[in-house]
Amino acid sequence: MSTKFERSVTRLIGSNFMAASLLVFAFSGASLASPESAAISTGEEVRSSVSSHIIQGGRDNSTVQNKTTEEYGALKTTGERSRSGTRAGFAKPGAGSSSAQSTSFDFWIYDADVQLFNDDDNDGYFYGVDLLFDADTIYSEADVYAVLYLSFEGGPWNEYAVTEDFTIFGSSASDEYVLVTELMSGYPTGDYDLLIELFDTFDGAFVASYGPDETSGLGFLPLEDFNRDAPVTEVVIIESHGGGGSLDGWLLSILILLLLISASRKIWRHRNDSLVRIDTPPPAWRTDRESRW
């Protein structure tokens, strides 16, 4: 009997110890889940994004012609910001231009605007970029494509997306191109400028550009990637003051002791219940009745 009693007490102590261990683990985990520990290094992080392409019709056209996934090397944040680091610096001059880095008089970008979306942590920085631009030409029609860049805090231009080939019709407004991009990784929190470079599909010549120098709407865009936009869950820790730490320890010890006493009493009753029933003498009325017979 003593062996089973000891095992029962051991199981009870073990279960209470396990519960206390889980409580300590949860507390330590909550302490580690701080914003500082959730910070993401910007070192050699690969940049990735997902884009939806809407060709012609602007934002009124809800039909997405294509979806693409872009991956680039780590974001360049230091150095000179110039066209020599973009595709325009390596492209041939377009018709009506004097050099590769100067735009053509035969093509131009009439207008562009950006709408930002997706700010899950409500810190004022977004990972969604909805870009609309309208390219025009002196010709009745021409096939072109655009390369898009982001500059972090005034640093070098970093290519982040390329459009599909699309057709523009003179100075028509019905050939607007919309590129909706979600920055997934590799873009630290900060202010970005956006640049559009337009190229002739036929020979790859650089023909036009549009950026923060042409409109303030493409400058100082508050952006960050999806990984950095995750909502931060606040952990509330209740602290007791006034020397209550030792008192809490005594209360916990008393509680464990009461549980042990209760368990031991239940075990003793279970083991000795049958013995009590056998050894108890029968009542007097039953003895008298049996002696009469």
Residue range 282-291: average pLDDT? 55
Q: Closest Cα to residue 195, out of 224, 160, 143, 144?
A: 160
Q: Where are the beta strands (DSSP E) in the chain?
A: 47-55, 66-72, 107-117, 128-137, 142-152, 157-162, 166-168, 177-185, 190-200, 206-210, 221-223
Q: What's the predicted TM-score (pTM) here?
A: 0.66
pLDDT of residue 61: 78
Residue 109 banded pLDDT, cuts 50, 70, 90: very high
Angstrom distances, CA of residue 254 to CA of 8, 261, 289: 19, 11, 52
Q: Flag whether 284 is in a domain.
A: no
Our CA dihedral for 162, 165, 166, 171, rounded to 10 degrees, sits at: 70
Q: What are the tens digits of pLDDT across the range 8-44?
A: 444 544 444 444 443 333 434 433 333 333 334 446 8
pLDDT of residue 189: 98
Q: What are the tens digits of pLDDT across the range 272-284?
A: 665 545 455 555 5
Our CA dihedral for 68, 89, 94, 138, rounded to 10 degrees, sits at: 60
Most confidently predicted of 14-18, 24-28, 83-87, 161-165: 161-165
Q: Flag whether 107 is in a domain.
A: yes
Residue 167 banded pLDDT, cuts 50, 70, 90: very high
Q: Flag whether 12 is in a domain.
A: no
Distance of CA 257 to the CA centre of its chain: 47
Distance of CA 222 to the CA centre of its chain: 16
Q: Flag whether 184 is in a domain.
A: yes
Residue range 255-266: average pLDDT? 82
When the pLDDT of each residue in the chain is averaged and rounded to a whole number, the result is 80
Q: Closest Cα to residue 213, out of 103, 59, 71, 124?
A: 103
Our CA dihedral for 139, 140, 145, 150, rounded to 10 degrees, sits at: 70
Q: Flag whether 33 is in a domain.
A: no
Read off the CATH number of the domain in which 58 is found: 2.60.40.10
Identify which has the larger pLDDT, 249 or 70.
70
Question: Domain range holding 55?
Answer: 47-229
Which token pair is 114? 């950006």
Q: Is 7 exposed, middle or buried, given 0-12, 13-18 or 19+ CB atoms closer than 10 A?
A: exposed
Q: Which of 142-146, 161-165, 241-245 has the lowest mean pLDDT?
A: 241-245
User: How many domains, in total, are found in the chain?
Assistant: 1
Q: Flag whether 85 is in a domain.
A: yes
Q: Flag whether 202 is in a domain.
A: yes
Q: What are the tens digits of pLDDT across the range 207-225?
A: 999 999 999 999 999 999 9
Residue range 243-262: average pLDDT? 77
Q: Flag whether 112 is in a domain.
A: yes
